Every structure is written in C-alpha cells, then in structure tokens.
Homo-oligomer: A and B are copies of this chain.
C-alpha cells in the first residue's frame, strides 16, 4: 500500500526563529485544511525536526519514493499533485506555513510535492515519528485530529470537482484561500494559472477567462505581485455554493 497525506496544522509560532508567514485562523474553515492545532507547536516534533530550504519549483519528494519522512511547512508554498500516465495532473492541495505533509503509515509517497515559491520546511524522519508516537500517546490524537481536518477539506474538494461549474470552482477557491489567509481582503496567489487549473479540474484558459469575468463583474481586483483583492466576498460566496 502506499499512502499519503496532506495535513494542515496550525502553528502560531514557529520554533528556531523562523516566522510563520500566515495565520490567525478562523476557528472552522469550511473548505480548507484548518483548525486549531497550536498545541503541536509546543510538542516534541519540533525537537527532532531538521530544517530544509527549497528553491522555487524544486521537488521535495515524488510519488512512489520511499516515504521516510514527514514534513511541516514553515514558510513558502508547496503544491501536492498526482499524475496520470499520460501527464494529466491533479493538484491535491496547496500547503502553506503550518501545514503538514507526508503523514501516513505507508512506505511510499502517494503524490509528489514541489515548492511553488522558495520554501522552508521541517523534516521529521518517519522512524523518529513512530518512536514519538509510542512514547507520547497524546500525539496520535493530535495527528488524528489534523488528518481528519484534511479529510474534510478533501471532501469539500470532491464536491467542487464533481459538481461545480468553472466559475463556481474559481469563486470557491478564492474564498477558501481567503479564509485560510485570515483577515485581509487581499490574498497571495503565488501559483500559476496552470496550477490553479490543475487544482480545480479545468484548463488554464478557462481559469483565465474566469478571472477576467470576476474582474469585469467587480468581484475581485488584481493587485501587483500576483495578489488578488476580494471586493465582494458575499457575492463570491453566493457564486461558490450555488448555481
């Protein structure tokens, strides 16, 4: 079996002087990994973690490789994706500071991970994690909680992929990012249109047309630096869950 997992944790503070680029999360984000896991920050995972830095577009691990470590994102943005033999790609999720990836009890990664921006991650060797789980039973419950949140996000994404129109998908995506990022109306979109398309089950062209439509409808505004401002979150929400 293989297995894999993208997990969202929720750091409020990152050890070793690194800064969490994000956060202050609403209690329950309906369609994104999330939820309060501040507890994990204080836990022993940090003690055994090695820090690693990845360049833009650099691979962190690939589907099929031996899954010998779990990662937690400290800074930057990561994409997780699966490929079909002919190259079609589905992006499972985008990870930001605080999210975990690789949590699984299988020996191979089930998807690939690449840095979208320059990123810093903590690497936690699998064997050490296992030992930790033995000595700290409460950790398993926390990880269970984190994994469950991931699963919830995955189910929302299924609804999106299976039943929403292109524009609904785009609106849902922007809102999810916004909730995840917290307060501000402006959100960072460091990923390409192609990444977004592969996350939403669309093509770059359709994503681009969608952005144009949202712009001309005055629902969003494109800022510099690939940032987007949500001008009317309520209208976007209507668009996201409805027809």
Contacts and interface: CB of A to CB of B under 8 A. Distances in A.
Interface of A: 1-6, 18, 20-32, 35, 82, 84-86, 88-90, 92, 103-106, 110-111, 133, 137-138, 140-141, 143-145, 147-152, 154-159, 161-165, 198-201, 241-243
A43 to B, nearest CB: 15
A180 to B, nearest CB: 13
B241 A165 contact: no
A29 B2 CA distance: 11
Question: How often does this chain occur in the complex, in copies?
Answer: 2
Given A84-B159, A158-B158, A161-B162, A144 B140 contact: yes
B159 A90 contact: yes
Contacts of A156: 82
A207 to B, nearest CB: 13
Given A137-B137, A155-B82, A24 B148 contact: yes
A163 B24 contact: no
5 cross-chain pairs, A with B, having the tightest CB-CB distances, nearest first = A137-B137, A162-B201, A20-B28, A154-B154, A161-B161
A90 B144 contact: no
